[in-house]
Chain A
Amino acid sequence: MRAKYVLAEMLVGLWRNVTMTIAMIITMIVSLSMLGASLLMYMQVDEMKGHYYEQVEVSIYLEKSIGDAERSAIKSQLDADPLVKNVIWETKEMAYENFKEQFRDAPDLVNAIGADELPESFRVALENPQEFDKINAAYAGLPGVDTVVDQQKLLQKIFDILGSIQNLSLVVAGAMGIAALLLVANTIQVAAYSKRREVAVMKLVGASNWFIQAPFVLEAVFAAVLGSILAWVMLVVGKIVLIDGKLAALTDLLLPVSWGNINLMLPILAGIGAVVSAVTAWVTLRFYIRV
């Protein structure tokens, strides 16, 4: 009976003030979907780092004029190095084969390069991919070494771009989040004002505090949960239209965003939204209107 009363009061409150309710829900959708997008991006970058760092190697390119003694000196130093996980010696012929494979769609390019022109190299997988600097310092100056290239650096640029998109969406999420909270506080104040007579009588006859406050707090929680469901729908639409649609070409490089991660956003966003707006509503009731 009491639950029914509280729910009915909640719906009456939302409906009586419907324009404000809609504004509250819209700001929550924008804020929560931005938050969800940046969380997804964070998870994505994490997954990509794991995926690519496994494969990424340091290439030590050798000079064309290198002698066998120098080559085997470098090889044995690499074999003994504790920073190195494993080493592959890529001969000129292997480099050419890989090159042909990689650019098989561009035969002109392949024809332009002779089998002899690509440098031989050691492809080195590191125990810890972050320790490129040490490898570079140890091998760049050795006789017979041309250059030491960290393939990770190339990826780092992509991660930096993703990171700044992520920061941008966090800023937007934060700004919209503040707007959403202010709207929650305002909506609760208006709702409490429109029911001030009822509230006064309830206090007078000794209705418990939670009973008086619950409908108002639930109004905010309801809006937050609805907002987070719609924000999740936005993320789903975003995946279908953008990531799997227009930007599908990019996902070869960036790895596809999994449905599992997208679906994980629903409980996370609903939880964050509900808790934050419930606290806001409660604080508003407690400090601004003393319901």
Chain B
Amino acid sequence: MTEELIIAGFGGQGVLLTGRLLCVAAMRLGKQVSHIPSYGAEMRGGTANCSVVISDEDIASPVIERPSIVIALNGPSVAKFEPRLRPGGLLIWNSSLVKQAPTRSDLVLVSLDAADRSLSEGTERAANMAAIGALLKLKPDIVPMEAVEAALDEVISARNRKHNPVNLRILHAGYEITKTINAA
């Protein structure tokens, strides 16, 4: 198993944290992981993103040219990364914010009202958790839900750990919503 993910969104949507959460969960299960942010001036416009590789083998490059999975939390991220997904890849997009829906027919496209899910729990900042929930449902071989739950306390700073019960609820909501989509 090797998955190459790009997680993208506005600054403040927890893009880097999303990547770290997946990495720590996988690392604790003995998988190889790498995480690299887009850095510098690029952070201050359009999208912030990080590239995450999770694999059973040694990881060559942390830099991803053709991702197998993209989580796009805003419109510019869909525009930027939909064309780069490899055929058959998975695109989870935040339908609460994205106006232009993705169109490629050779991808698995999953729309998720991630920001609305987050807002319904009283926070604007946890859309990323809903997206991770959806990902875990759709790609169970990356890491199981329990591993991500266990990693939350390690990855979230002490200052923000009090929000973890909410994070957990949104994580599970993302997982359930996706189930409904798949059934449909």
Instruction: Indicate, yes or no, whether A interacts with B.
Output: no
- Which chain B residues have a beta carbon within 8 Å of chain A's beta carbons? none
